[in-house]
Structure 1
Amino acid sequence: MPPRALRVDSFICRSCLSSLRKRTPTAQWVLRHSSQAAQPVASEASSHRSREQEIERQKTLETLGLLKGSKDVGVSVNYFEQGKGGKLRRLRDEDEFGQSLNDPGGEAESRMKELEQELEQATQFTKIVEKIWGKQGAEKLRKRVESQEEALPKPSLLLPEEDWTAQDRTRIVQLNNMIRTIGRKAHSGVLLPKRINSLWKYYYAARIALSKKWESVHADIWDLLWQILAADHPNNPNRMSHTHVLAKDMQNAGVALRDDQQLLAIEATFISGLQEDAITAHKKLVTTIGARPDTFVEFWQLGLRMYCLTGDIARAERVANTLLESPYEKDPRFLLPFIRMCAEKPATVEKGFELYQRLRSVLGDAITIEDYDQVISYFLASNETEYAFYVFVEMMTSNTVDLRGTHRVPPSVASPFFYGKWLKRLIGAGDLQGAHNVLLHMKSRGVMPQAIVVNGLIGAWLRSGTADNIKNAEDVAWAMINARMQFLNIRKDMKNLATYVRLRQYGEGWPRANLETFSLLAENYKDRGIHPKMEELWRAFRDAEIAPNSFMLNQLLFSYLQDGQGKHVAALTRDLTNQYQVEPDSWTFMVLWQALAVNRLIQIPSGQTGKEISRTRSLFAEMIRSAHILATSSIDVQLARFVLHSFRKLDDKFGLLLAYRALRQIFKFEPPDSVVFELHVGSMDLERTAKGKGGLRLMHAGKQIEDYLKRRHEELIATGQLSAGDDLPDDIKREELGNFVEFFLQNQVELLGDENMEQTLEQAATEMGLDGEVPSFDDV
């Protein structure tokens, strides 16, 4: 015990100090709560000992005068707080000590002050936004910020970037950055192929690193990768290959795949070429996914498709029966792959047709034209045209006519018109091989196809451009030409025979070629530049005694021009038009203008310019005589270009001016901007001109045209034809451009300084078929 004369605020014995510490209210509260959390409730014996100890301690404190009721002795307790650096800080009182226990370091208070400042700043910003854009604008901004925050990936969607090698960490960081980008883009809609491919690229690059720490890949990351890479969307063409790899990685990482994920993984494995693995995996799930009502149909339909693709008809049939006998709701069209497999082999084609009838029976009125077309295409692809014909007849007759087992086909069905419908449908669908099979089937049944339908197939073959189709087109077309020749020969022989004698045509039973047949071949030979075949075709055409039209004539003329025989085009045109009385059209004149020496040759021979000018003017006169044909609508721009540039190349300024005026007045020609520049610069190739020194001429021409249009715009406003501030209308602009070209050409004529300009113009007009009258405009 301490001396009595000494105050107790400086010294306390150890036993009393121990008791005093037990009496501290705050420490007692902490011990009470910690003991409640960490220890079980004490037994009765322990409680009794505690009460005895408490009584003894109270007596000791009373003796020392340390109880609250004691007025003789005062007790003061100092509280301290230890900071992070180990430094002690004295606390003011018991309240600050309690606050220190609840909030060490005073972080809550400082954080509260920061939040108050942020709230005040947000309130001020909201007031500014409402002042500028109103409350609706502020609400839109708030929603936009919320949507952007929602688009940000969750922390679980990012891979940890620590504890990797330098190379692996780079790949992980790249994948995380891509995940962030995908998170923002995916929130706004469907991802573009570029984003999906980038995600796959960075994931594939990080696979080796991730395989060392599969546990670091959170489940949310797998869900995101599956959602993007396995999405069934046109923007994800590599879906199956991605799914195959991703599913393997998830299984290696110990991730349990959902039922739908397992089915898609099996399908992806099968499509990736591992067919046996996929079928094995499918068999293992028969008692699980294959037995659940919600996955039964999808599971067995997947198995049916795989067995059909591998050609396992026995297992496919068992699976099909399992599906058909199941009580679950399903689309009977799951039989289509099975029908296709059976139709591919002659041994099982009958079974395929029976399956089709079963499908048709189950669907009933729900069967569609597309269903019929699908089944028909299966039988046609395997050259089982007879069964395809049965299906087509049932489709067209609403299942009222059944041809199976019949020896005689009804006339309403065995007719060119009925077959023609089928051929047109197949050609329109692009099934050219199927249409060919139908043609052969018609001929085998003795039904002569219509020439117009066969010509449609020939045209489709030629347009496809493939070697096999072009060969088929030529074979069939020449077979039709031969049928035409046989018919003509029989008709000639019949004139020398008795009336009761009849000759019949022999051969393969193709229809006779007509003008369309020859035109199709002629256009193809011309486009392919096969002039020898064109000449052979033309000889056959003349022997076929068919009057040509301008189209057939033009193909022949263009073929001669492409073959380098342009000098014969003009004479050939005169002979053919006189012999067959064919009126030339714009394409005929196109080839005639291109066949002129000035357009065929790089340079006109010396001394031939005058002769070529005379030919050019004569050809223009031919156009004037055919104006009733060409002037039915505005003349073709390309034809007008060749006309004008032919005169320009010959430097026939008088002929060029007259030709331009005649084109505008008689043929309603309105020169486009390109032709205006070409005539002003003097070139048909503006791009080539712009690369050289002609670029300055183009700039000069553009400046002149712009100044002219600006001046005319001001004049029209001054005369009241346009209101001030109005732009130049398109129709007026086209007319003014035409006037500009005429002023330009007329100015070039005047620069020649010809004293007999009027007489020269009249003579040129006479040579050009303008009856000696020089066409002009009132404003010129």
Structure 2
Amino acid sequence: MSSRAIQSLRYTPRFVCSQCLFVPHKPASPSAFLPPHLLYQPARRWKSQLKQAPREAAPASKKSIDQGFPESFEEAKKTLNVRYFEQESDGDLRELQSSDDFARSLDGTELYQQDLENDLESIMDIVDGKNTNERFRAQLEKELLNAIEESKRRSTEATPEGQATKAATETPQINEKTFRKEAQRRLVRKLNSALDRAEKANRRDNAPSKRTLVPLWKTYVAARQTLALSWNAVPRATWDMLWRLFSIEDPVGNPNRLSHVATLSKDMSAAGIDLTPSQQILTIESLFVENWENDAVKNWKRCLPKLGADHSSSFQQFWELGVRMFCQTGDMEQANRATERLLNAKSDPRILMTLIRTYSQMGTEEAYTQAWEAYRRLRGLLGSQMKLEDYDQVISHFLAANQTDNALHAFVDMMTSGTTDLKKHKRLPPTVGNKFFFGKWLKRLIGAGELDGAYNVIKFMLQKRVQPAPIHVNGLIGAWQRAGGERDLENADAVAWQMIESRLRFVRERRGEQTAEQDSAASTPWPRATLETFSLMAENYRLRQQHDSLMRLWQAFNEAEITHDAFMMNQLLESYLQYGRVAEGAELYKSLVSGGRVKPNPHTFMTLWKMLDVNRIHISQDQYYCEMENARNTFNEMMKFVDVFDEPIDGQLARKILHTFRRLHDSHGFLVALTSLRNTFGFLPPELLVLELVVGTTNLAWDTLRARQRLRIEKKRMDLDIMQRREALGKFSGSVNELEELSAEERGEELYEYLVRVYTPVRSEEDKEFIDDTQLLEEAAQQMGVYNEATSGE
């Protein structure tokens, strides 16, 4: 690599060779011809050296030189042109193609670029040959390529075309010298810098972000008072850039769009800047949104002759704004006139959506009729071009205004393509008046988040004596619960208990304890609650920690004579656990499972393990034996329902089991549980769990130096032990990275064996006479319900 390239990979050196100093820096045009005495003009700083150098011959006077040229000098210039040459390092001359090449050669960028390319090739050869770090190699290559591109860019900017391109991409700046005080200039400089950063970010990301626009606006607001002293200092290009950045419609990146536009338009008017038609329309809209409604309407009417003309490029945009503003102010006469102007000009008929929404919100029968007529006209104008999204929007407007009849008619139009007109039927036809047809509508509304609309549809169905399907009502209950609002939860509870009462009424009628005439509420055909209804409510009450409501629900569940389910039992157990009433939870489990009424699932046993005192509270030393018994009995209970588990067992459940025995210092129970999890459930402990069990914590901390050092020590100890064992068994291949090359199953087996060695009690010869670990393991296996498995597996 040349020394010049080593010095800097980012900046081009400003060197000029001694020969080039004697050549004019401004190349002559190809058709120019100069006398010899004008071609040799040394730089001023070299004059002292030139005076000391001996002269071989004095130059001829200008008069004598001029006499040597023919009188037809002007004609001779037309037939001559200048040729440029570059002397290579080996002494050969190379002809340059144009004066631009000569300028680049004079600047030294061409030679520097060539050196960098040669250096890149040589360095890549060295890097490839030495197998250097791939990331370092890529980074070095990137830096060298950037240096080459920078050299090319500077070379291009030296040409007139390059200068023009650079000028076109530069950010327009405000002249700070217009202002006298240094504080004012400082504000202007900050604004110029913010503009430059915003423009670069915009070119890089193709759209400004909130992180870019917020600082820019703060800087502009800070400089507004200063700029108002001399608006002429702000060029039109700067105003255009500010408008372009702050008028972008992006709710996330530019949430205060119209507020910023209103301020900018005010400042531009003060600066005497004429707004374009689109800018004027956006300004009117911003005034309207910023609560200057009267001013916005006046400005709209004032711009009507120019912007609202038929030949105007902003015709549709202008009249659509008028429709929206007049609908917002309640001037429906003007809104209808503006709408007619648009429709007569063959504009998009969807502008009628604004009228439909406004009429629907008025709440009068006359307005409802106008809304329906507007919808019919919209459907007639669009025809086959009316999309599902258009129907959904119309239906949403009708449902929001509680016009369920009109909403149903629009939905029927959507489903039947307008072939069925419900207005001509006094009663719902069978193809429409059934729970399956309404179920499609409810699914669509719930999926779109129109929960209030779906509720209105259900009430409409009940009025029409069409009973909704429980699955659809349960879907609405679940959607309300996921929404989580106070009103949503109240609606969910009300509808769910209506369904529960309907189920209880059905049970009483089936028993003969009640007839339909004895209960006036039976006339309301609410669907009967299902197991899903109770499960939704049970989970919601548990999450909201409403234990009393959950107990009331459990009582109703028993009265409803629905087959008991593990999910309901799990919610009750979790609720008991939340309130610390684990004894009652254990009794509930025994009463439901022992009688065969409910079959537990893996989530049930996760709750049972969490209910153990050792996993909830701090226990004293004298409680360890009792808790050890409880843990072993819980494992025994789990082994009775092996068939409910998937293979392998859930990792979190296995982790909870092993940590429970670790906390109890029950090494025999730990070994039995670890062996059973492997043999019965196919579970092999991952490395992270092994480290937790060895270190003795459920939360491996990395935030302190001591914790990190301890983890490193345990990791090295574990790897060394595994390597020594493999070497003793003759499995060591001699590779340095042998442990990393093991398969997942082999690695799991090694970690399993390591845990067994760590938790196997080490006894002295004296202790072995009094403690028989083999017998203790057998007792633990018997108590944990895996004696046959343990004796056959070990």
TM-score of the superposed pair, with normalisation by structure 2: 0.77
2:182 pairs with 1:166: yes
Query: Structure 1 residues 590-599 or 374-383, which shifts more?
Result: 590-599
- Counterpart CA distance in 2 for 1:562 and 1:692 is 36
Q: Which amino acid aligns with 2:715?
A: G
- Counterpart CA distance in 1 for 2:380 and 2:611 is 67
Q: Which amino acid aligns with 2:207?
A: V
2:179 pairs with 1:192: no
Extract unaligned runs of 5+ from structure 1. 1-82, 84-90, 98-111
For each residue in 1:336-369, what CA deviation from the matched residue of structure 2 results, as whole angstroms up to 9, or x when unmatched?
1111111112321111111111111111111111
C-alpha displacement of 1:230? 1.4
- Aligned counterpart in structure 2 of residue 157 of structure 1, from 151, 154, 172: 172
C-alpha displacement of 1:96? 12
1:718/1:597 CA distance change after superposition, 3 Å: closer
CA contact (8 A) 1:598 1:649 kept: yes
RMSD, aligned α-carbons: 3.4
C-alpha displacement of 1:738? 2.5
CA contact (8 A) 1:525 1:531 kept: yes
Q: Which amino acid aligns with 1:409?
A: L
2:679 pairs with 1:665: yes
C-alpha displacement of 1:153? 6.9
CA contact (8 A) 2:104 2:110 kept: no
User: Who is 2:552 aligned against?
Assistant: 536
User: Who is 2:112 aligned against?
Assistant: 125
For each residue in 1:507-566, what CA deviation from the matched residue of structure 2 results, as whole angstroms up to 9, or x when unmatched?
432111111111111001111111111111111111111111110111111111111111
1:396-545 matched pairs, under 5 angstroms: 396-493=415-512, 506-545=522-561
Query: Structure 1 residues 314-323 or 506-515, which shifts more?
Result: 506-515
Query: Structure 1 residues 157-166 or 388-397, which shifts more?
Result: 157-166
Query: Structure 1 residues 608-617 or 757-766, which shifts more?
Result: 608-617
2:629 pairs with 1:610: no
C-alpha displacement of 1:678? 2.0
CA contact (8 A) 2:564 2:597 kept: no
CA contact (8 A) 1:653 1:748 kept: no
For each residue in 1:590-626, what CA deviation from the matched residue of structure 2 results, as whole angstroms up to 9, or x when unmatched?
11112223223311473x4333322221221111111
User: Who is 2:695 aligned against?
Assistant: 681
- Counterpart CA distance in 2 for 1:174 and 1:715 is 72
Q: Which amino acid aligns with 1:645?
A: H
Extract unaligned runs of 5+ from structure 2. 1-43, 45-59, 67-98, 122-143
2:609 pairs with 1:619: no
2:275 pairs with 1:275: no
C-alpha displacement of 1:210? 0.8
- Counterpart CA distance in 1 for 2:580 and 2:276 is 71
Q: Which amino acid aligns with 1:247?
A: S
- Counterpart CA distance in 1 for 2:578 and 2:705 is 30
1:744/1:346 CA distance change after superposition, 3 Å: same
C-alpha displacement of 1:292? 4.2
User: Who is 2:75 aligned against?
Assistant: none
- Aligned counterpart in structure 2 of residue 226 of structure 1, from 243, 266, 273: 243
CA contact (8 A) 2:113 2:151 kept: no
SS in 2 for 1:446: coil
User: Who is 1:252 aligned against?
Assistant: 270
SS in 2 for 1:686: coil
- Counterpart CA distance in 2 for 1:717 and 1:152 is 74
2:668 pairs with 1:650: no
2:569 pairs with 1:553: yes
- Aligned counterpart in structure 2 of residue 261 of structure 1, from 279, 294, 317: 279
- Counterpart CA distance in 2 for 1:372 and 1:507 is 34
- Counterpart CA distance in 1 for 2:240 and 2:730 is 69
C-alpha displacement of 1:144? 5.2
Point out the structure with max Rg over C-alpha: 1
For each residue in 1:739-766, what CA deviation from the matched residue of structure 2 results, as whole angstroms up to 9, or x when unmatched?
2222211256899746422122112111
User: Who is 2:351 aligned against?
Assistant: 334
1:331/1:718 CA distance change after superposition, 3 Å: same
CA contact (8 A) 2:690 2:755 kept: yes
- Counterpart CA distance in 2 for 1:95 and 1:462 is 106
- Counterpart CA distance in 2 for 1:763 and 1:118 is 93
C-alpha displacement of 1:458? 0.5
TM-score of the superposed pair, with normalisation by structure 1: 0.79
- Counterpart CA distance in 2 for 1:572 and 1:512 is 26
For each residue in 1:461-513, what CA deviation from the matched residue of structure 2 results, as whole angstroms up to 9, or x when unmatched?
11111111001000111111111111111222279x9xx99999724321111
1:692/1:525 CA distance change after superposition, 3 Å: farther
User: Who is 2:716 aligned against?
Assistant: 703
CA contact (8 A) 1:654 1:749 kept: no
User: Who is 2:370 aligned against?
Assistant: 351
- Counterpart CA distance in 1 for 2:370 and 2:411 is 18
- Counterpart CA distance in 2 for 1:713 and 1:246 is 76
Q: Which amino acid aligns with 1:762?
A: E
C-alpha displacement of 1:309? 2.0
1:641/1:723 CA distance change after superposition, 3 Å: closer
- Counterpart CA distance in 1 for 2:536 and 2:789 is 44
- Counterpart CA distance in 2 for 1:404 and 1:750 is 95
Q: Which amino acid aligns with 2:772?
A: N
C-alpha displacement of 1:409? 1.0
- Aligned counterpart in structure 1 of residue 325 of structure 2, from 294, 306, 321: 306
2:572 pairs with 1:585: no
Query: Structure 1 residues 669-678 or 299-308, which shifts more?
Result: 669-678
User: Who is 1:742 aligned against?
Assistant: 756
Query: Structure 1 residues 180-189 or 744-753, which shifts more?
Result: 744-753
- Counterpart CA distance in 2 for 1:586 and 1:747 is 31
- Aligned counterpart in structure 1 of residue 583 of structure 2, from 551, 567, 577: 567
1:124/1:773 CA distance change after superposition, 3 Å: closer
CA contact (8 A) 2:667 2:761 kept: no
1:311/1:352 CA distance change after superposition, 3 Å: same
CA contact (8 A) 2:726 2:732 kept: no
SS in 2 for 1:490: helix
- Counterpart CA distance in 2 for 1:583 and 1:123 is 83
For each residue in 1:296-349, what CA deviation from the matched residue of structure 2 results, as whole angstroms up to 9, or x when unmatched?
1111011111112222211111111111122xx422112111111111123211
Name the count of aligned residue pairs: 667
Q: Which amino acid aligns with 1:654?
A: H
C-alpha displacement of 1:143? 6.2
- Counterpart CA distance in 1 for 2:728 and 2:323 is 81
- Counterpart CA distance in 2 for 1:626 and 1:664 is 16
C-alpha displacement of 1:569? 2.1
CA contact (8 A) 1:332 1:362 kept: yes
- Counterpart CA distance in 1 for 2:761 and 2:326 is 83
CA contact (8 A) 2:685 2:748 kept: yes
- Counterpart CA distance in 1 for 2:749 and 2:704 is 30
1:718/1:587 CA distance change after superposition, 3 Å: closer
Q: Which amino acid aligns with 2:650?
A: D
User: Who is 1:20 aligned against?
Assistant: none
- Counterpart CA distance in 2 for 1:565 and 1:541 is 21
1:174/1:120 CA distance change after superposition, 3 Å: closer
User: Who is 1:45 aligned against?
Assistant: none
Identity of aligned residues (%): 37
C-alpha displacement of 1:237? 2.6
- Counterpart CA distance in 1 for 2:649 and 2:493 is 35
